[in-house]
Amino acid sequence: MQKLDWELYLLPFEQAVEEIKVKLKNIRNELRKRKEHSPIEFVTGRVKSVPSIYNKANRLQFPIDENICWELRDIAGIRIICQFIDDIPAVVEMIRKRNDMRIYLEKDYVSKPKESGYRGYHLAVEYRLMTARGEVTIPVEIQIRTLNMNFWATIEHSLNYKYEGIIPSDIRQRLIEAAKASSTLDSEMNNIREEIKEAQVEFTTREVPMESLLSLVELDLDVDDEETGDGLTTIEGKKHYDDDDELAKGS
């Protein structure tokens, strides 16, 4: 089996992440300039590191070859954060209408959360991009969450990292209860979303942009490590993006 040149192999994935981030951010900025509500609050992305690719491929027993990207499906990862639950299907519909990517797998953990309490909406898409050698199509994973969902997943991932994937049962139960509380908060905020939108418009007219508040919670998906749960967290100065094994398996 020919050894992969990882620097060259990962180039289109790096390009795809940057392109998609710019495209989605441009949509958000255009909607805001048109004084319309943007379902996209912020966008982050990362390319999986080579050690993490090997770790996951070995765990799932996939051979390391040219097709490994289609087996794992998440070498290129994008995360979209929304304010409201109703923004999630709006973002999915936006992606569905694009002609530069095609959804071929969906995982709805919003209406059907995982046993752990994790919530989010995952898409596996085929993304077309132009390289120096012509057009190529690669797989990209897109995760869509509300701010509350992302916060919960961050904490859960931190605990998984601390306990090496085996969280004590009492803490696990507290996490499940916290997930329920987070879901209730999302539902309540969704119920008063029109009032919240009006308040945010008033904020911007007073030159106090929401971005100044959201910058406190915006994180980059620039480094990933061995996956133990769903989430994005900062550990010892490194940011970790975790993967959805079920999505990778195609189940």
**Beta carbons within 10 angstroms of residue 113's beta carbon:** 17
Instruction: Let me know if 19 is a catalytic residue.
Output: no
Residue 223: HSE in the Cβ half-sphere, 13 Å Cα cutoff:
9
Q: Count each helix (H run) and each strand (E run) in the chain, helices first.
A: 10, 7
Q: Which of 41, 141, 156, 227 is catalytic?
A: 141
Please say whether the beta carbons of 147 and 83 come within 8 A: yes
Sheet with 101-108, strands from edge to edge, namely 42-47, 76-82, 134-146, 121-131, 101-108
DSSP state at residue 183: H
Q: How far apart are CA 222 and CA 17, in angstroms?
A: 11
Q: How far apart are CA 91 and CA 164, in angstroms?
A: 34
For residue 103, report the phi and psi dihedrals to the nearest 5 degrees: -75, 130
Q: How far apart are CA 90 and CA 58, in angstroms?
A: 36
What is the set of active-site residues? 141
